[in-house]
Structure 1
Amino acid sequence: MLALECCDPPILHRDLKPTNVFIDGSGHARIGDFGLARRLPTTDRSTLTTETGTYIYMSPEMVRHEIYDSKTDIWSWGVVLCELCTNALPYHGNFWTPIQTAMAVADGKAKPHIPKDIHPALTKLADLCFAQEPAERPTFELVVSQMTGILSVLRAEADARESGFFSRVMRRANALQRKGEPEQDE
């Protein structure tokens, strides 16, 4: 998504959702399905205002048929992030149709639920992506920078937990082994 944002003019995907994210053989995420993608118009006379994409991933401004830019993809990316963190569809606690969900998003009455057990840095980043005002949302450059830092912290925390777990297992195994050894004569 950063590569699309860095194009001149930027390219909007306009249908970012989990089924359009593919994992390659190296484990890297790749974006696919560019059927709705468009270059961001460079003049005031040609603007993007059409509603396009998948309702539950659409930004408020897209649902309202307002002028939108690359920040609409930031909203969608935030929805994908929440789905990835929760392993549940966005807005899963509501029993709305996709259109009802889109209308609630457009009215500022709904955004994906972020559980309290999600790492605080991920929660903060998702909240930035869900700013009602597109200008208040981050760029993909900032998202990539933030995610790089967050992933480093999460890896370090996981390594520390794993290291602590294996240290405890090894200490216990050594203690049990010593306990079961026959006493040596002096």
Structure 2
Amino acid sequence: MEQNQLVTVISGEIGGVEQSLCDARELHGFLKVGRDFSNWIKGRVEQYGFVEGEDFSPVLAKSTGGRPGQEYLITLDMAKELAMVENNDQGRMVRRYFIAMERRAREVHGNTKLKHSERIAIQKQVVNLLKALEAATAHASRRVIHAALAQNCVQLGLPVPALHDVGSDGPQNGELFPRSLYPVK
């Protein structure tokens, strides 16, 4: 865990949606809840109507000789709500922390929440659009392809390559000679 992390946040999938998650037991420890973990998490799930496969995913812990324990990976939305209902300084601190982590994830990965299959499909489109952009020579065609490429890159949170950085060595933007004839700068 990074030194400035209050609770470890990982990327994972619940209900087929890739999202940021945390370990409920670690959150419980940080919140300094007076009840034991098992009763606390079960009580909160029941009391606040959290849904398995949507808000949390139960995971069997590795056995240390006895029966394996039950752990829970929870969404940051559920973690924020749990922190809020504890109504203490630790809860307020971790809730603000989770909000900051989500903001950082949006900045890094774009503002869309894509399913894993959607992300894969868009990544394939990016590869195909890059190939098409490299092969295209007409400036108008290159601009249309580049616009589609830019849209897909933004959805994935990737940097958008400049139009002139991909493809044709032919004259562009009013140049009289192909780029291959210009000296390297």
Superposition TM-score tier, normalisation by shorter sequence: under 0.3
Select the structure of larger CA radius of gyration. Answer: 2
Structure having the higher strand fraction is 2
